[in-house]
Structure 1
Amino acid sequence: MGNAMKRQEKENTEPNSFDTMFRDCDSLVVLSDYPCRDISEPIFKIGDRLKGLSEDGCWWKVRSLQTGTVNYIPNNHVAKVYHGWLFEGVGRQKAEELLLLPGNSVGSFLVRENPKERGVYSLSVRHRSIKHYKIFRLSNSWFYISPGLTFQCLEDMINHYSDSSDGICCVLSAPCLALSVPAPSSTQNAPPVVMRSKMDWKKVNRSELLNPNELDVVDNKDNMMSYGVRSSIAAYMSLASIPEPQNPKDRKKKSKSIYVIPDHSHMDIDEC
């Protein structure tokens, strides 16, 4: 009984793997397809964002933030991401591969920690090509890229270069892969485009466009013109004096259109 209680107390006090391994990082990013395409279709692809769930030695249990897939992946295929832009243990070549992925554009960036030397950082920015800037550190732990411009922390540096390029290739626009999660398409349920032949205006009867008895017929699903559009067309036809097609019975009848021109002689005209 006593041993069981001690074992239970140990389990309650021992931190779980999520707290120790993934507590501080925002997410994980896949550095290379897993498994390799030569073996099978990858479960996780380079650039995918993951959430760490637990670790079992060199294997991490993760969930894809794009698809929700839960599986294991070797820890050397992923990197931890802090603040959305600080990539742990990513080299120069891998940074270029990530920044060249779809979803990144001019100004996309990441700060990478040297995989061989902790606490040593570089800024990689996508421009016409990928530009790399070494981040130096003073004895008082302040950071700088240009000697005359120092920052107390990396966050201050990123905030500054997000407002002004100030010597680097361009203003920082968005963290690398920030747009990698595809947004739901707003055109998924859009109606199909219907191609119609050109309208023969000589065969359009102005009276039928605005005839209340014809509205139910004109407003059916096969008609693409609203009542307002039909009103505009009818007005245009009146002003343009486009003759309406006449029925044989009405050929002998003649009609005249009378237009009244308003008198503007008493209106104030602003000539300024």
Structure 2
Amino acid sequence: MMRGSEDMMAVVLQDYPSSQISRPMYRKGERLSVIAQDTYWWRVRSLQTGKENYLPNSHVAKVYHGWLFEGVGRQKAEELLLLPGNRVGSFLVRECARERGAYALSVKHRTIRHYRIFRLDNSWYYISPRLTFQCLEDMINHYSDSADGLCCTLSCPCLSSMSPPSDVTNRAPPVVMRRNFDWKKVDRRQLVGTDSHSDSIVSYGVRNSIATYLSFSGNQDPAQMRADNRKKKSKSVYGVPENALANIDYDNL
């Protein structure tokens, strides 16, 4: 197996495995980092989800400079540019199927527009004969500044602004911060109230737990409880009052 480069980028051309077989591990348009490649299988890492696995080389295409797509035909270029996240001016450069070594520029506008990129004998490139460029990078830079005859100015490479898939669920839950408060000033009723709609400083579940704990110990003063505990030399076994679990919602356990 030939090792790849961390700088070698690729894009998924079609869902793998097919959604008809199982839930896709990689989805069309997902951008990848190529770790290693073999004749038929590539080991890749998703830049969106971080998933690392093997993918058939028929489902992936290398991407150079962020916009030069290797092995992508006209139809596949249109499919990629029509994916959500690509805006007007999104583009890619692909090799022409009709002529080896020739390229085409595909741009998203009202429809997907395709422009043949010609190459002179001195290896300079052009779309319009009045403008020639020493390399493809110079051509892309020029049309990124001005449409100059194209349907629109080039805005960004295809898929470069794609966000992670909506079904990615491995996300940390949001953290909500609350202002500090003095526990000594807290009304006991705010802690033990079991009304789920009451305006309390602690959640309904926490209040239930506090109420249950207090039901074990009764209404004994906390200071007195600590004094009594110090006097005990053996462990105590508490019986659970019949109404201790009355307010627990078992559907949430």
Where does the alignment leave 5 or more consecutive residues of structure 1 unmatched?
1-15, 192-220, 223-272
Counterpart for residue 136 of structure 1: 118
- 1:177 to 2:162 alignment: no
Structure index of larger Rg: 1
Counterpart for residue 89 of structure 1: 71
- Summarize the alignment of residues 109-258 of structure 1 with structure 2, pairs less than 5 Å apart: 109-115=91-97, 117-182=99-164
Aligned-residue Cα RMSD (Å) equals 2.3
* TM-score calculated relative to the size of structure 1: 0.59
| CA drift at 1:23 | 6.9
In the alignment, the residues of structure 2 paired with residue 114 and residue 89 of structure 1 have an alpha-carbon distance, to the nearest angstrom, of 9
- 1:37 to 2:22 alignment: no
- Please tell me whether the aligned partners of residues 24 and 82 of structure 1 are also in contact (alpha carbons under 8 angstroms): no
**C-alpha distance after superposition, 1:44-85 (max 9, x if no partner):** 000001111112320111111111111111101100000000
In the alignment, the residues of structure 1 paired with residue 46 and residue 109 of structure 2 have an alpha-carbon distance, to the nearest angstrom, of 29
- 1:108 to 2:90 alignment: yes
Match of 2:41 among 59, 77, 93: 59
Distance 1:116 1:70, change over 3 A: farther
| CA drift at 1:181 | 3.3
**C-alpha distance after superposition, 1:217-257 (max 9, x if no partner):** xxxx99xxxxxxxxxxxxxxxxxxxxxxxxxxxxxxxxxxx
What secondary structure sits across from 1:109 in the alignment? strand
- Please tell me whether the aligned partners of residues 28 and 49 of structure 1 are also in contact (alpha carbons under 8 angstroms): yes
- Please tell me whether the aligned partners of residues 6 and 34 of structure 2 are also in contact (alpha carbons under 8 angstroms): no
**AA in 2 matched with 1:147:** P
Farther-moved stretch of structure 1 (99-108 vs 49-58): 49-58
- Please tell me whether the aligned partners of residues 89 and 114 of structure 1 are also in contact (alpha carbons under 8 angstroms): no
| CA drift at 1:115 | 5.0
**C-alpha distance after superposition, 1:177-202 (max 9, x if no partner):** 0111349xxxx8598xxxxxxxxxxx
In the alignment, the residues of structure 1 paired with residue 45 and residue 99 of structure 2 have an alpha-carbon distance, to the nearest angstrom, of 29
In the alignment, the residues of structure 2 paired with residue 61 and residue 190 of structure 1 have an alpha-carbon distance, to the nearest angstrom, of 35
In the alignment, the residues of structure 2 paired with residue 71 and residue 116 of structure 1 have an alpha-carbon distance, to the nearest angstrom, of 34
Distance 1:83 1:181, change over 3 A: same
- Please tell me whether the aligned partners of residues 50 and 65 of structure 1 are also in contact (alpha carbons under 8 angstroms): yes
Q: Count residues with an aligned counterpart.
A: 171
- Please tell me whether the aligned partners of residues 34 and 45 of structure 1 are also in contact (alpha carbons under 8 angstroms): yes
Distance 1:53 1:125, change over 3 A: same
**AA in 2 matched with 1:127:** H
- Please tell me whether the aligned partners of residues 88 and 115 of structure 1 are also in contact (alpha carbons under 8 angstroms): no
What secondary structure sits across from 2:3 in the alignment? helix
| CA drift at 1:117 | 4.7
In the alignment, the residues of structure 1 paired with residue 32 and residue 144 of structure 2 have an alpha-carbon distance, to the nearest angstrom, of 26
In the alignment, the residues of structure 2 paired with residue 23 and residue 68 of structure 1 have an alpha-carbon distance, to the nearest angstrom, of 13
Counterpart for residue 3 of structure 2: 18
In the alignment, the residues of structure 1 paired with residue 7 and residue 51 of structure 2 have an alpha-carbon distance, to the nearest angstrom, of 22
In the alignment, the residues of structure 1 paired with residue 39 and residue 153 of structure 2 have an alpha-carbon distance, to the nearest angstrom, of 40
- Please tell me whether the aligned partners of residues 88 and 112 of structure 1 are also in contact (alpha carbons under 8 angstroms): yes
